[in-house]
Amino acid sequence: MLDGNAIAGTLDDIFGREMTLTMSTCGHCASRGPLAETVVYLRAPGVVVRCRMCQAVLMVVVDRRGTYCVDLRGISALALG
């Protein structure tokens, strides 16, 4: 179990920018914080990102032969300033 700092490179691949300072809002408990502070599991099948407050799944990233499959359904808002 790590935090969002550990997937800064992966997030940069997906979004094309530095993302760890980006504020995300949990779709389950509505808590808001920088992606750096999320709970990250690298050893699940794919990367699993969970809310630090309620543990709900925010994001799942699977790398399939060089193509990222990204599930963002647990995030209700990403503040891309």
Partner 1 sequence: MKWRFATVADVHPETGRTTSIALRVPGWGGHLAGQHVDVRLTAEDGYQAQRSYSIASAPDDDGLVLTVEEIDDGEVSPYLVEELQPGDELELRGPIGGYFVWEESKGGPLLLVAGGSGIAPLRAMLRHRLARNGDVPVRLLYSARKLDEVIYRDELTRAAENDGIDVHLTLTRERPDGWQGYARRIDRDLIAEVAWPPAERPLAYVCGPTPFVEAAADALVSLGHDPGRIRTERFGPTGS
Give Cα 9 distance to the centre of its chain.
12
- Helix ranges restricted to H, the chain: 8-15
Q: Looking at 23, 25, 37, 56, which residue binds partner 1 (CB under 8 A)? A: 37
Residue 79 within binding range of partner 1, rule CB under 8 A: no
| Smallest separation (angstroms) from partner 1 to the CB of 71 | 21
Q: How far apart are CA 23 and CA 44, in angstroms?
A: 24
Closest CB to partner 1 among residues 38, 75: 38
> Which residue(s) pair with 78 in the sheet?
24
Closest CB to partner 1 among residues 9, 45: 9
